[in-house]
Structure 1
Amino acid sequence: MATLLALAAATAPAKAKPIPVPADAAVISVSHAAGGAPIPPGFLGLSLENSAVIPYTGSDPRALDPVFLQLVRNLTPDQSPQLRIGGDSTDWAWYPVPGLSKPNGVRVTLTRRWLAVTHALAADLGARLIMGVDLEANSRAAADGEASAFERVIGKPWIEALELGNEPNLYGTLTWYVKPDGVHVFGRPADYNFQSFLGEFGSFATGLPGPLAGPATGARGWMPLTGEFLAAEPRVRLATVHAYPVQTCELPLSSPLFPTVAHLLAPQATTCLADGVATAVALAHSRHIPIRVDEMNTDSCGAAPGVSNAFVSALWSLNALFEMVRVGADGVNIHTYPGATYQLFTVTHTGRRWHASVAPQYYGLLMFAQAAPPGSRLIATTTVNAQGVTVWATRGRRGRTRVLLVNESPDRRTIALNSASARPATLERLRAPSLTSTAGVTLGGQSFGTRTTTGRLAGPLRIARLTATAGRYVFTLPAESAALVTY
């Protein structure tokens, strides 16, 4: 027996020696247990203004822009895309109703062609739509006519919900329209509040086909009232809120809400942003109602060139979306429209071809879609010496683990990722020349170039292969970049 034991010891493979790790390396450990609800299909969606639909798709419902369609599909592979159509233009739009005068604040007329194009968009993508209905015009007849046209032409099977109004918390404080003599007109009196909205919503909702969505607010003071809203409106089957971390309107540069690179990378813009909707999420779920942040992007007011259109917005998107997963949101719609500083892409049609120039932020959305596929669950991580590096991890249905690392710092870091897996891992990088770069972004070495005619990444795919030694993957994480490790 002693001889056999000695022989076994002599022939056993030697234990692998740990790879030397610098003393300043960031050490990451991932939990074995997955926690939280599975990420639902269609978690990552888009939000479009009414006025953005035809510029993105073209005006022929029989031949929609294939580049735009592909850019939408990229974000929800093998899923039904979630599209919210509304935004500010929800309360600026109407569908002409015989015998009814156009409301004064209306500046967008929804035509039969617009409806046909929107139907084709939903049908071509297999999408689910949240359609905004004008509340600020304060006309039940106009709202009923608009909703009826949506259901009749776009088609009820494609409509997830009708969202009545947009950010009603601003009706009494934000100009609805300006008269020819320069007088500013507000949609409601200055004392308009949540209770005022609740009464109006109930009155308008009786004439609308269900299901409904709301309250479509971004006001933190209204978030704790979500439960009261849902209790009063049983036909609301989808709760919706909005979230923006920064804005330029009437704020000094020193304000943490003013859009700068540093402010967009601060916890205020990601962790605190999600914490601000967490109460609404909990209240909706207590009533078994799903809730989407159906309008979110970087800055809510004004323009922020060099921030919202730069690579920093891609890193912000990764952290902000995962923070929304953390607080339990059932989905997020990233807002975009032509002319916005934060537009995800610019679409043009020349000759017989469609082209798109893709913004840096879109690359961040693509990486999130890879890191958080449907059915995966957020899992806990622990870090040591990882200042400036944010870590997220998910585990999929078949046990595949994905670890996303976002290095917001100006320093290159060595990462030591502890893992119980002996499998080789893959490493994909999201990079740009700098945080303020508006071009030169790559994901896995690929890009859309200066413009794309396919809507697909192009170029050689560069995915590194990592081998675990002594239960640890060791690799470098360049400054101001992100990486996705999958094993």
Structure 2
Amino acid sequence: MLKPSLLLSLAACWTHVWAVTVYGQEGVTQPSGVLATATATATANLDWISNYAAYNNKTLTPPALPDPMPSTAFTIQVMNNAANVNGLSVQQSGDFFGFSIEMSVVQQVIGKNASFIAVPFLNLLATVADRAGRVRIRVGGNTQETATLVESLPSNEMIAKDKENASNPTDTPILDFTAEMIYLMSNVSALVNAKWYLGIPFNDTSNLRLQIAEVADAVLGDNILAYQLGNEPDLYVSHGHRSSDYNQTSYYNEFGVVVDALNNDAKITKHGNLVAPSTQGTWTLQSVWDTGFLTTYQDAISVLSVEQYPDNNCAAAFPDAGFGDPVDPQSVFANYLTHASGQNIVNQYLSSTPLAAQYGKQFMMFETNTASCGGFPGVSDSFGSALWAVDYGLQMAYSNFTGALLHIGGQDVSYNPFTPPPTNLSSTEQWTVGPIMYSTLVLAEALGTSNTSRVLDTFANSANAYTPAYAIYENDVLARMVLTNFMTEQNGQGAYTATISVGGGDTGEANGTPSSVKVKYLLAPSVAEKDNVTWAGQTYGGRFQCDGRLSGTEDIQTIQCDTTANTCQIPVPAPGVALVFISSDAQGVTEPSTTQTYSTTAVTKVKNTVTIDPSVLATSNGDSAKDRAEGSTSQGSSSDAPRTAGVAPGLTLLAMFVTGAWVVVAAMRR
């Protein structure tokens, strides 16, 4: 029997349902006779794998078409010059969507240690970073609160979990970790332009543990963006982490204790980069601001943060915990297939985003996904979740959020953007990419790499909830548009044609409609589809088929416009997303010419291999191996070779199991 330590990070929904995190969940069982190491016998019958939520077989029925139907032929009038547009967002970056990884599953998702990195993880990051310029990743969550950085662990482990002393009611394990985890992150950044957020322990402000910031400042350097201080403090009382009188003022006071300690720690070189308050809705943000939090700590904070999910599946995950009857995923599916979902989430924060701008801070959705308590099987892993995330992400951008992190849990959640195979299948099976992962590509290309993109909700089609459309201005000129169709074609109905008209007419602007536009489509046969998803004709593949790279020939449509009528007619299939590039320049800044991928020399494979230019390896750490001490990554050998603070282990060798597991990075360390 397999009892994996699987993590579900469960923030509350906007209806203020408690956030819950489960560790060491049982109930996923391997059939007898399946060996601990993958064999032909183990892979011959994988029916048992559907017991994991990440690989569930539940497929829903697409909701019926709305009644009344929205218009399927409508015009969107847009201005070419941002000076003539009201309501544009703050400037946004292509890395708007990033990832949130619970600290306790770092070894499962990112790498076993600084020398073994999961190659599909690198390749997946590369597909985003090459479109967005970089990718942002948070390592933390509930498990950051009790984590302690230690000198070493038995058997040279990187992370150890104390489950016997797990905190109630969520059985959150107490973590010990070594600096190896931070070197692992540094090595990822040396290969892919990844930037990091880390969590500082906040469970005991009488005995602070600031070592994670001390080491991260030295090792990650500019690759560390900020440190989260307090994860969902409004749930501390209900989770038994503080006394019953703990409130917003208590948090304000404790926050100040840590700020003073950080400022007085000579080993911490970077200041003014904290993330807070990361509430999930039990406290309103205004109640936190009322303590004087913003004015007192404005010099210490760089990111104002919240964590929110639109719904929860807690009754199914905890049938004996008093959450009521389990929710049928089919009954909530339609809730995600509407523009109103994203609007309902962001509306409660609209009074705080102007404050962030006033104080010169970012405002981030620091953890989010389709539903807490693991998501809804059939919803969270459907094409509908990709449509939902595209619209939700753009609605946040339009509402002056400056980023959002999609949460990744273990194999017992259904909402993961990507999931590695179970350990016993890692040498024979590849990763599984959820449809929601494609939303990160769409937003990256829609927002581009100029860091000047401003987003406008056009309230298209008389603000119909099933056909939302956004205009994106870059350097104050209309660059791209995103059109979404939440409907699934039924009896030949559901697709629509949006007629885009740029300037002209009685708008006061000259005709700005180009002679033609380029269009990329995010497509699947229905909103319920789980595997057959494509972005501009390319796909990550279905279950256990992803090595992190897109496959297939890219398909970019060219649509001729009528410059006399000042119109471009853009068909949008049902379901689907159309990214419209108004000019060739608008496409060129987001279209990666090549994507660096990573290969193996540790294990020989005769197919499904990829390559890397040796010159990249020779210079990947920016210097040579001169004057560096050598260590070993072999079992039983010392892992204590000397390192120089501020420099990741040398990157001189790459290797991996292409089908699913790891890249070996470097036999040399610093």
TM-score (norm 2): 0.62
Residues 230-287 of structure 1 deviation map (CA, whole Å, 9 limit, x = unaligned): 2222312222221211112356689999982112234552012112222222222211
Closer/same/farther in 2, CA of residues 371 and 273 from structure 1, 3 Å limit: same
What is the CA–CA distance in structure 2 between the aligned matches of 1:384 and 1:311, rounded to whole Å? 23
Closer/same/farther in 2, CA of residues 268 and 243 from structure 1, 3 Å limit: farther
Match among 58, 79, 82 for residue 111 of structure 2: 58
The structural deviation recorded for 1:323 is 1.0
The structural deviation recorded for 1:306 is 0.9
Which residue in the other structure is 1:182 paired with? none
Q: How does 1:61-460 map to 2 (within 5 A)?
A: 61-77=114-130, 79-96=133-150, 105=167, 106-136=173-203, 138-152=204-218, 154-174=219-239, 186-208=240-262, 209=268, 210=271, 211-219=273-281, 221-225=283-287, 227=289, 228-233=292-297, 234-250=299-315, 260-339=332-411, 340-348=413-421, 355-373=430-448, 374-379=451-456, 381=458, 383-384=460-461, 387=464, 388-397=466-475, 399=477, 401-410=479-488, 411-419=494-502, 420-450=512-542, 451=544, 454-460=547-553
8 Å Cα contact 2:432-2:546 kept in structure 1: no
What is the CA–CA distance in structure 2 between the aligned matches of 1:307 and 1:351, rounded to whole Å? 26
Closer/same/farther in 2, CA of residues 90 and 399 from structure 1, 3 Å limit: same
What is the CA–CA distance in structure 1 between the aligned matches of 2:166 and 2:438, rounded to whole Å? 40
Closer/same/farther in 2, CA of residues 386 and 171 from structure 1, 3 Å limit: closer
Closer/same/farther in 2, CA of residues 460 and 381 from structure 1, 3 Å limit: same
Percent identity, aligned pairs only? Answer: 24
AA at the equivalent of 2:526: S
Which residue in the other structure is 1:12 paired with? none
Residues 138-170 of structure 1 deviation map (CA, whole Å, 9 limit, x = unaligned): 154342234334334x43432222211210100
Which residue in the other structure is 1:5 paired with? none
Which residue in the other structure is 2:27 paired with? none
What is the CA–CA distance in structure 1 between the aligned matches of 2:293 and 2:227, rounded to whole Å? 16
8 Å Cα contact 1:230-1:284 kept in structure 2: no
What is the CA–CA distance in structure 1 between the aligned matches of 2:414 and 2:360, rounded to whole Å? 36
Closer/same/farther in 2, CA of residues 321 and 193 from structure 1, 3 Å limit: same
AA at the equivalent of 2:77: S
Match among 547, 569, 572 for residue 474 of structure 1: 569
Aligned length: 450
What is the CA–CA distance in structure 2 between the aligned matches of 1:254 and 1:60, rounded to whole Å? 39
What is the CA–CA distance in structure 2 between the aligned matches of 1:353 and 1:394, rounded to whole Å? 43
Structure 1 unaligned segments of length 5 or more: list them: 1-22, 175-185
Residues 122-142 of structure 1 deviation map (CA, whole Å, 9 limit, x = unaligned): 333333221111212x15434
Residues 75-124 of structure 1 deviation map (CA, whole Å, 9 limit, x = unaligned): 233623221111122224222389xxx88645222123323212322333
AA at the equivalent of 1:408: F
8 Å Cα contact 2:309-2:371 kept in structure 1: yes
User: After the TM superposition, which of the residue ranges 310-319 and 383-392 deviates more from structure 2?
Assistant: 383-392
The structural deviation recorded for 1:344 is 0.6
What is the CA–CA distance in structure 1 between the aligned matches of 2:311 and 2:470, rounded to whole Å? 23
AA at the equivalent of 1:292: M
8 Å Cα contact 1:246-1:258 kept in structure 2: no
Residues 22-51 of structure 1 deviation map (CA, whole Å, 9 limit, x = unaligned): x85122222223333221353222111112
Give the superposed CA RMSD.
3.0
Hey, which of these two has a bigger chunk of helix by percent?
1
The structural deviation recorded for 1:66 is 2.8
